[in-house]
Amino acid sequence: MKGIGPRKAAALAGVGIHDLFDLFFYVPRRFLDRSAIVTIADLRRGDYAAEPSLQPDLSKSDPDLPGVRKDVTVMGEVRSHRVLGSGRRARFVLVLADRTGSMQCVWFGGVQYWRRAFRIGEVLAVSGQPSWYANVLQFVHPDIDRLSSSGEEGEMQWTSLLNTGGLIPVYPSGQDLARAGLDSGGFRRVLHAAIRTYLDRVPETLPPDLIRIRSLLPLAEAIRCAHFPSSLDDIPEGLRRLKYEEFFQFQLKLALRRHSAKNEEGIPFSVKSALARRLVESLPFTLTKAQVRVVNEITSDMASARPMNRLLQGDVGSGKTVVALLAMLIVVENGYQALLMAPTEILAEQHYKTLVRVLDGLQVNIRLLIGAQRSKLRQDVLEDVRRGSAQIVVGTHALFEKGVSFPRLGLVVIDEQHRFGVMQRALVRTKGENPDVLVMTATPIPRTLSLTLYGDLDVSVIDELPEGRKPIRTLLKHEGERESVHSFVHEQVRGGRQAYYVYPLIEESEKVDLKAATLHYEELKEKIFADLRVALIHGRLASEEKDRIMEDFKAKRIDVLVATTVIEVGIDIPNATVMVIEDAERFGLSQLHQLRGRVGRGADQSYCILLSRRWIVDRAARVGGKPGAVEEERLAERRLAAMAATNDGFRIAEIDLELRGPGDFFGTRQSGIPEFRVANIVSDGAVLAEARQDAFDLVRNDPSLSDPSHRGLADQLRHRFKEDLALLRVG
Ligand code: ADP
Ligand code: MG
């Protein structure tokens, strides 16, 4: 594009803008309404409406609609200009006149530049907030457009107005962008040029039917409205189409992926399994109704000739593991390999041991594969896997490293991988010939998010906890109450229970935090719990060491386990009834919920004690989880208040999403959540639902996108999503 040199291109690439399409979706943050053009006499009389604040009616009716500020615009001729003052007080003063009077425009700083910028007699359009200074009417730092100085005032070229005289877009920028000439004004110029030159070449992607039924603007028109609207009404209309476009493209890919997966050959397992029955019989409990229901959903997928792609959702402690075990045993009995992948080594070890214990005597060859294994053992495991003689393989992501191949892969179970996005799951499937895939997560995600993240999966939900569980009691405590917390832990341990003490370990300051945790541990061990058995576990320990400590804790040879977040997910030790979380304000909400989920796993009353600084605790207690009243409260207080208010993981997830926004919800990059530029998956749920419905309907009716009215879409996929071309082979 003309006007975009290597520097600008690099700066644009830095914010993910690589082509015109990206650029068009870089929408303004807000608008300045400069459409009121008045005379200088009007300004003198105060006869104008300029409102520096946001217009409340607009921002209220739609929170995503960019705010609008009202400025006034004056057109006039440069009469004179001069530099006044010197040094830091230097300012450039320009006298502007129309036929009704004159006024000043003032710029502080940059006087040498401004002095050369204007010719006497030149005609300008000037926008800003008028003010009076020492009885002189002025604009300070106004935005300007130069109008052709030939011709009469009445004939001035409106088309040359870019910064004044209409609804003016204000673009988000940043230091890097501004340095490359792409401050808000720079973006405005670039977008204006791009739209002028290329807009008529923007192809329509949606079939006419959809545009009509959903009352959408044509794409090109929407782009214009979102950037250079002719009226305020244009803005939400333009944005709605762009949001729809983003959601639709994404959902179309999901729909195609799902369609193609449904048409692939999977393995039809025989789901009558003696092994599974033996497991169920050997359990010390009976399955909940919800567990039975999801087992049925899973086994009917497994019996079908199509590969399974299913999400198993259930709050912490709802009993997902045993469901996965049953599915794995079916696979084993059919002569295939099953793979169970966990996010941490500790959890992988735990699953491995559980399997070995419950399958004792059943002649199933179970292997553990984690990154930290000695190479000899590792070689041995790999060989076992490669030969196909390892029937169940438990591990971490080490399972997916190069060089691990599974000749008879029948099922992949991914545990606690709420960070596993669509793309990573596609990778999993390459490990075998269309194995069944079961993704398990305790993070009950709000519906809009699950539609984006797991939109191509079928969903099973365990919506009840095993019988007899008592709700965990969550208490907020501060430093001053430490004594009482310690004596409470003592009491619990005397009653035969065990406790966790968790310290935050924030990545940037891992060393410092670890040191703090270690110091605290020494203090707990030597002074406070001198009579108890206390141990420390953290991520830096060797695998065998971690393993030994968890084993001791499980066997009740440890009373109090001091830990970093290595125990965050999955750990299952029902006799532990107290979770004390230090510096609780430093944890994210979903992390707190996961940690709390380490207790309350048996029949005993369990407690989660959140320790924090006094004022945070006091205020969080006052906030008390009342949703409306807390908007202005600090985030930490809201998180603690939410924890104290509810045990419901779904509610927690919703609040978390609200507090953090979708980008951060699952952590960073790995989230697998596509980044939408215009749309917001939290607040644009209605548009998302429509786009999803339409995309899935469309693929159902025309999976190969061969209908002429779908050519725009097919082309779009071909050009913009090359990596997804394979999706179009189907049908
Ligand atoms: P999660 O869904 O968080 O992964 P787990 O599978 O670790 O939960 O199960 C939590 C605990 O509940 C385990 O100790 C497990 O043995 C136990 N459990 C699972 N199902 C039942 C049930 N139906 N009745 C009683 N306890 C159960
Ligand atoms: Mg689990």
Residue 679 CA to its chain's centroid (Å):
13
Beta bridge partners of 69: 32
Please give the Cα distance from 681 to 684 (Å, whole number): 5
Give the model confidence (pLDDT) of 155-167 as tens digits: 444 446 889 988 9
At 418, is the pLDDT very low, low, confident or very high (cuts 50, 70, 90)?
low
Cα-to-centroid distance, 93 and ligand 1 (Å): 76
285 lines ligand 1 (CB under 6 A): yes
320 lines ligand 1 (CB under 6 A): yes
| Averaged pLDDT, 578-593 | 88
594 lines ligand 1 (CB under 6 A): no
Cα-to-centroid distance, 675 and ligand 2 (Å): 29
Residue 728 has pLDDT above 80, yes or no: no
pLDDT given for residue 62 in this prediction: 45
350 lines ligand 1 (CB under 6 A): no
Q: What percent of the chain is modeled with pLDDT above 70?
A: 85
Q: Is the Cβ–Cβ distance between 134 and 140 less than 8 Å?
A: no
Could you tell me the domains of the chain?
A: 6-202 (2.40.50.140), 274-462 (3.40.50.300), 473-646 (3.40.50.300)
* Tally of CA atoms within 13 A in the half-sphere of 487 that contains its CB: 3
pLDDT given for residue 623 in this prediction: 59
Give the model confidence (pLDDT) of 452-500 as tens digits: 767 778 889 998 888 888 899 999 998 889 999 999 999 999 999 999 9
Give the model confidence (pLDDT) of 523-566 as tens digits: 999 999 999 999 999 878 888 888 899 899 999 999 999 988 77
Atom of ligand 1 nearest to the CA of 287: 23
Residue 572 has pLDDT above 80, yes or no: yes
Q: Is the Cβ–Cβ distance between 228 and 250 less than 8 Å?
A: no
Better pLDDT: 726 or 83: 83
Give the model confidence (pLDDT) of 305-360 as tens digits: 988 989 898 888 899 999 999 999 999 999 999 999 888 888 888 889 888 988 88
pLDDT given for residue 101 in this prediction: 94
Please give the Cα distance from 583 to 591 (Å, whole number): 13
At 302, is the pLDDT very low, low, confident or very high (cuts 50, 70, 90)?
very high
Cα-to-centroid distance, 317 and ligand 2 (Å): 7
At 190, is the pLDDT very low, low, confident or very high (cuts 50, 70, 90)?
very high
Q: Is the Cβ–Cβ distance between 66 and 77 less than 8 Å?
A: no
Which DSSP helix (H) or strand (E) runs through 252?
helix 234-262
Cα-to-centroid distance, 474 and ligand 2 (Å): 21
* Tally of CA atoms within 13 A in the half-sphere of 662 that contains its CB: 22
Q: Is the Cβ–Cβ distance between 49 and 247 less than 8 Å?
A: no
Cα-to-centroid distance, 288 and ligand 1 (Å): 10
Cα-to-centroid distance, 416 and ligand 2 (Å): 6
By alpha-carbon position, which residue is closest to atom 20 of ligand 1?
Answer: 319
Atom of ligand 1 nearest to the CA of 416: 4
At 396, is the pLDDT very low, low, confident or very high (cuts 50, 70, 90)?
confident
317 lines ligand 1 (CB under 6 A): yes
572 lines ligand 1 (CB under 6 A): yes
Cα-to-centroid distance, 539 and ligand 1 (Å): 25
* Tally of CA atoms within 13 A in the half-sphere of 320 that contains its CB: 28
By alpha-carbon position, which residue is closest to atom 16 of ligand 1?
Answer: 319
At 508, is the pLDDT very low, low, confident or very high (cuts 50, 70, 90)?
low
**Cβ neighbours of residue 451 under 8 Å, at least 6 residues apart?**
251, 688, 689, 692
**Cβ neighbours of residue 715 under 8 Å, at least 6 residues apart?**
203
CA proximity to 672, closest of 323, 311, 326, 158: 311
At 258, is the pLDDT very low, low, confident or very high (cuts 50, 70, 90)?
confident
pLDDT given for residue 374 in this prediction: 78
| Averaged pLDDT, 377-384 | 88
Please give the Cα distance from 344 to 570 (Å, whole number): 9
287 lines ligand 1 (CB under 6 A): yes
Tokens standing for residue 315 = 């709050």
pLDDT given for residue 729 in this prediction: 44
Cα-to-centroid distance, 386 and ligand 1 (Å): 32
CA proximity to 563, closest of 344, 371, 243: 344
Cα-to-centroid distance, 318 and ligand 1 (Å): 6
Give the model confidence (pLDDT) of 625-651 as tens digits: 444 334 434 678 888 989 999 998 888
322 lines ligand 1 (CB under 6 A): yes
Atom of ligand 1 nearest to the CA of 283: 16
By alpha-carbon position, which residue is closest to atom 19 of ligand 1?
Answer: 319
Atom of ligand 1 nearest to the CA of 597: 3
| Averaged pLDDT, 259-273 | 86
By alpha-carbon position, which residue is closest to atom 15 of ligand 1?
Answer: 319
At 148, is the pLDDT very low, low, confident or very high (cuts 50, 70, 90)?
low
By alpha-carbon position, which residue is closest to atom 4 of ligand 1?
Answer: 320
At 55, is the pLDDT very low, low, confident or very high (cuts 50, 70, 90)?
very low
598 lines ligand 1 (CB under 6 A): no
Residue 256 CA to its chain's centroid (Å):
23
Q: Which residue out of 279, 282, 285, 462 has the highest number of ligand 1 atoms within 8 Å of its CB and is therefore the one to mutate?
A: 285
| Averaged pLDDT, 384-393 | 92
Tokens standing for residue 485 = 């917390």
Q: Is the Cβ–Cβ distance between 412 and 428 less than 8 Å?
A: yes
Q: What percent of the chain is modeled with pLDDT above 90?
A: 43
593 lines ligand 1 (CB under 6 A): no
Lowest-confidence pick of 61-75, 305-319, 494-508:
61-75
| Averaged pLDDT, 28-34 | 89
Determine phi and psi for 609, rounding to 5 degrees: -110, 120
Cα-to-centroid distance, 269 and ligand 1 (Å): 26
Residue 59 has pLDDT above 80, yes or no: no
Q: Which residue out of 318, 604, 647 has the highest number of ligand 1 atoms within 8 Å of its CB and is therefore the one to mutate?
A: 318
Lowest-confidence pick of 195-209, 655-669, 690-704:
655-669
**Cβ neighbours of residue 234 under 8 Å, at least 6 residues apart?**
167, 225
Please give the Cα distance from 399 to 188 (Å, whole number): 49
At 389, is the pLDDT very low, low, confident or very high (cuts 50, 70, 90)?
very high
Cα-to-centroid distance, 601 and ligand 1 (Å): 7
601 lines ligand 1 (CB under 6 A): yes
pLDDT given for residue 402 in this prediction: 63
Tokens standing for residue 573 = 């030790």
Residue keyed to tokens 């945070």: 616
Name the average pLDDT for the chain. Answer: 84
